């Protein structure tokens, strides 16, 4: 799965699960999902679960510290890294 598809899957999930309006001008692949209120701390757990289930990767506590995962682009980069076999 290429980065473009990963981003599309993430975007669709976030819009649907967190109720982001389709015409929201600030919502994009580089907006900070937490600072801008798209995802709260409870939603972060749901988002991580989705990432693990949808893309077949494991996200550890250490990963949350070592890798920025605040934007769709950052999450997609992490998934791509893991899918390539990198730790």
The predicted pLDDT at position 87 comes to: 65
The predicted pLDDT at position 14 comes to: 98
**Number of domains within the chain:** 1
Its pTM stands at: 0.93
The residue segments making up the domain with residue 34 are: 3-83
Per-residue pLDDT tens listing for the chain (87 residues): 788 999 999 999 999 999 999 899 999 999 999 999 999 999 999 999 999 999 999 999 999 999 999 999 999 999 999 998 876
CATH number at residue 64: 1.10.1200.10
Q: Which of 34, 42, 43, 17 is nearest to 68 (CA)?
A: 34
């Amino acid at each position: 799965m290429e980065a473009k598809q990963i981003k599309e899957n993430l975007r669709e999930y976030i819009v649907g699960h967190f109720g982001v309006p389709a015409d929201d001008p600030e919502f994009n692949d580089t907006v900070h999902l937490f600072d801008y209120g798209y995802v709260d701390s409870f939603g972060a757990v749901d988002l991580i679960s989705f990432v693990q289930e949808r893309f077949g990767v494991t996200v550890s506590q250490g990963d949350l510290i070592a890798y920025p995962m605040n934007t769709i682009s950052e999450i997609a980069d992490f998934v791509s890294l893991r899918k390539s076999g990198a730790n």
